[in-house]
C-alpha cells in the first residue's frame, strides 16, 4: 500500500517529459522565448529574439510573419512591412498561395495604418 502512495506522490519519468519541452529546433526555442518576453511586457527583447530567429533561418516564413506582427504592434511600420513582404515572398516560393494572400492582406493593413494620421 505504501508503495502505491509513494509512486503516485513522486510521479514517473513520463510525467517529467511532459513538463520539460525538448528544444530540438533553436528557432522555435527563440520564438517561445520571444512570446514569453512579450507576455512579460518586454517588447524590445521580444523583437530582438525574433530578429535573431529570422537571421538564423532566413527561409522560414512563419518567423518573419511573427516579427512583422510584433513590429506593427510596436509601431515600427516600415520594418513590419519589410518582414511581411519577405514572408509573402517565401510563401510564394513554397507554393503556399493562400497563405501568401493572407500575408499580403497584413501588408495592406500595415500600409493603411501608416496612412492614417
pLDDT at 86: 99
**Overall pTM surpassing 0.85 (yes/no):** no
Q: How far apart are CA 104 and CA 54, in angstroms?
A: 19
Residue 23: pLDDT band (50, 70, 90) is: low
44-99 pLDDT tens trace:
999 999 999 999 999 999 999 999 999 999 999 999 999 999 999 999 999 999 99
Q: Where are the alpha helices (DSSP H) in the chain?
A: 2-10, 13-19, 26-40, 43-56, 61-74, 77-93, 97-115
Q: Which three cell numbers stand for residue 107?
A: 501588408
Domains and CATH numbers, the chain: 12-115 (1.25.40.10)
pLDDT at 116: 76
Please compute, for residue 86, the number of CA atoms within 13 A of its CA located in the half-sphere on the CB side: 22
The residues near 73 (Cβ < 8 Å, ≥ 6 apart) are 43
pLDDT above 70 for 19: no
Amino acid at each position: 500500500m505504501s508503495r502505491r502512495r509513494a509512486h503516485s506522490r513522486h510521479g514517473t519519468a513520463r510525467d517529467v517529459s511532459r513538463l520539460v519541452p525538448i528544444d530540438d529546433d533553436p528557432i522555435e526555442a527563440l520564438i517561445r522565448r520571444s512570446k514569453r518576453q512579450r507576455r512579460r511586457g518586454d517588447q524590445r527583447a521580444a523583437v530582438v529574439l525574433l530578429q535573431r530567429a529570422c537571421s538564423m533561418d532566413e527561409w522560414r516564413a512563419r518567423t518573419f510573419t511573427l516579427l512583422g506582427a510584433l513590429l506593427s504592434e510596436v509601431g515600427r511600420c516600415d520594418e513590419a512591412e519589410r518582414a511581411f513582404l519577405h514572408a509573402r515572398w517565401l510563401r510564394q516560393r513554397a507554393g503556399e498561395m493562400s497563405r501568401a494572400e493572407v500575408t499580403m492582406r497584413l501588408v495592406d493593413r500595415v500600409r493603411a495604418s501608416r496612412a492614417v494620421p
